[in-house]
Amino acid sequence: MKLNDPTLLETRAYINGEWREGDTFAVTNPATGDVIANVTDCSIADVQEAIDGAYVAQKAWAAKTGKERAAVMRKWYELMMEAQDDLGTILCAEMGKPLAEAKGEIAYGASFIEWFGEEAKRVYGDTIPGHQPDKRIVVLKQPVGVVGAITPWNFPNAMIARKVAPALAAGCSFVARPAELTPLSATAMAVLAERAGVPAGVFSVVTNSKAAETGQEMCANPKVAKITFTGSTRVGQILMRQGADTIKKMSLELGGNAPFLVFDDADLDAAVDGAMIAKFRNNGQTCVCANRIYVQAGVYDAFAKKLSAAISALKPGNGMDEGVTTGPLINEAAVTKVEEHLSDAVSKGARVVTGGNRLGGTFFEPTLIADVPATAKVSHEETFGPIAPLIKFDTEEEVIALANDSEFGLAGYFYANDLARVWRVAEGLETGMVGINTGLISTEVAPFGGVKQSGLGREGSKYGMDDYLELKYLCMGGIS
């Protein structure tokens, strides 16, 4: 791996300001199967040590002014952007997304550190008119304390950044446990955090192959005030159960099953562009990917033809190679899920329009299937891969009912131009986020999160601070 700064390829865990070696686990490049690094496999005792250190360090970090925390975060942001090429290369190697997309993730992750560094100066409380003549009421906002984070492989930089940024801005400390598949983006962030002056213990990265045990420890440890997690709903449910014993605060960004609706009055070229990014960004491995595409009967054939042409132009390959648009799937299990969803849909009457073939390794052809029945698995389960299923509908009422027929409610998208319809559909979709005439909604300035079994809380925007702050009500009496 060719880096301008080879020290960013860090294989050690970062615990309380110290780089930790020990037993290791291998990290492989999903495009080639090659081992790219052997990374410290932290024990649960190491996790406990990081939590203990975070508990001590948090007090001094919270005692700094918002402006002081902001200055450190600004420096961290600047260092991440200066290292964007190297961080993108590391991310591409461990996760597989094409280099341009990986560098885009670095900028996206860094934008949260920039945004919340600014928010650190604006943690405003309240004064409330007293309820009795001698009373004065003040509401403070204080940091919740130590935060334990478990993050996924699909955005190994941004999913840490989107959590650690509001946490540090609020005055919390943070112990991150990245996915076993993609720890190197996290350790590289720790290298730059140390250089930026984030104090020892305020941000630690415990790399290991012990996900369940680490989650159990974070949920049970009384020094951890809060868990923040991005990943499957299945694991989110486990963490909620485990956190119940200590009433652990939870921020959960979980699975999705985004509907993508195309109405008769849509701009079809725009809708195709939107479908391409909503479906095939990160090779379909995002929680907000369009999982099912509903097209109104009047434009179904025209849209299918345009979309098929766009999908056929995608170029799967090694993300480091020029012109590659689509990387490998993360592992064999991901390929199996895609194949299962495809064969299930075809067995129920769907038709493969383009793609449909495994390409060797964990590469899979970007695929369009049409005439998908509502009973197909792709209609109800998150595919997390490059299959675009088209489902025809007739009426607005019908498609909103179909769209909402899911236990998930993270993102939804639709293309239409009639203003009354735009408002009806936007208000009718049971999701936390709606893209209207756009397929890309993720930004640090807006509240990202879902309803139903897609999670709890919001990340990004001014609302993103709330999950890391506690309200304290002061009632002063005897004032006359």
Ligand X SMILES: NC(=O)C1=CN([C@@H]2O[C@H](COP(=O)(O)OP(=O)(O)OC[C@H]3O[C@@H](n4cnc5c(N)ncnc54)[C@H](OP(=O)(O)O)[C@@H]3O)[C@@H](O)[C@H]2O)C=CC1
What is the set of active-site residues? 253
* Residue 441, CA distances (Å) to 135, 143, 444 in order: 46, 29, 10
Selected binder of ligand X within 255, 328, 355, 464 (CB under 6 A): 255
> What CA–CA distance (Å, rounded) separates 36 from 385?
24
Angle at Cα 251 formed by Cα 244 and Cα 472, nearest 5°?
Answer: 80
Question: Considering beta carbons, is residue 152 or 319 the nearer one to ligand X?
Answer: 152
Binding at 442: pick from ligand X, ligand LO4QSZO4, none (beta carbon under 5-8 Å per type): ligand LO4QSZO4
- Any contact of residue 96 with ligand X (CB under 6 A)? no
Selected binder of ligand X within 77, 112, 363, 384 (CB under 6 A): 384
Binding at 203: pick from ligand X, ligand LO4QSZO4, none (beta carbon under 5-8 Å per type): none
- Any contact of residue 225 with ligand X (CB under 6 A)? no
User: Closest approach of Cβ 288 to ligand LO4QSZO4, in Å?
Assistant: 5
Beta-carbon contacts of residue 48 (< 8 Å; ≥ 6 apart): 217, 221
- Any contact of residue 254 with ligand X (CB under 6 A)? yes
> What CA–CA distance (Å, rounded) separates 346 from 372?
8
> What CA–CA distance (Å, rounded) separates 456 from 414?
24
- Interface segment toward ligand X; rule CB under 6 A; list 10-18, 211-219, 357-365, 469-477: 211-219
Question: Considering beta carbons, is residue 20 or 177 the nearer one to ligand X?
Answer: 177
* Residue 408, CA distances (Å) to 73, 240, 352, 378, 380 in order: 34, 17, 26, 13, 9
User: Closest approach of Cβ 340 to ligand X, in Å?
Assistant: 12
Strand partners, 136: 476
Selected binder of ligand X within 30, 98, 148, 215 (CB under 6 A): 215
> What CA–CA distance (Å, rounded) separates 320 from 344?
33
Work out whether strand 367-370 and strand 351-354 pair parallel, antiparallel, or are unpaired.
antiparallel
Question: Considering beta carbons, is residue 3 or 211 the nearer one to ligand X?
Answer: 211
Binding at 409: pick from ligand X, ligand LO4QSZO4, none (beta carbon under 5-8 Å per type): none
Question: Considering beta carbons, is residue 44 or 211 the nearer one to ligand X?
Answer: 211
User: Closest approach of Cβ 294 to ligand LO4QSZO4, in Å?
Assistant: 21
DSSP assignments along 190-232, one per residue: HHHHHHHTPPTTTEEE---S-HHHHHHHHHH-TTEEEEEEES-
User: Closest approach of Cβ 309 to ligand LO4QSZO4, in Å?
Assistant: 25
- Any contact of residue 155 with ligand LO4QSZO4 (CB under 6 A)? yes
- Any contact of residue 257 with ligand X (CB under 6 A)? no
Selected binder of ligand LO4QSZO4 within 111, 154, 208, 257 (CB under 6 A): 154
Question: Considering beta carbons, is residue 167 or 218 the nearer one to ligand X?
Answer: 218
- Any contact of residue 433 with ligand LO4QSZO4 (CB under 6 A)? no
Question: What stretch of H or E contains 300?
Answer: helix 300-312
Q: One-letter amino acid identity for 276?
A: M
Q: One-letter amino acid identity for 338?
A: V
Beta-carbon contacts of residue 423 (< 8 Å; ≥ 6 apart): none
Query: Cα-flanking dihedrals φ and ψ of residue 157, to 5°?
Result: -100, -55
Question: Considering beta carbons, is residue 86 or 444 the nearer one to ligand LO4QSZO4?
Answer: 444
359 CB burial (10 A radius; 0-12, 13-18, 19+): middle
Site for ligand X in 263-302 (CB under 6 A): 287
Residues in touch with ligand LO4QSZO4 (CB under 6 A): 154-155, 159, 230, 253, 286-288, 442
Residues in touch with ligand X (CB under 6 A): 150-154, 179-181, 211-212, 215, 230-232, 235, 238, 253-255, 287, 382, 384
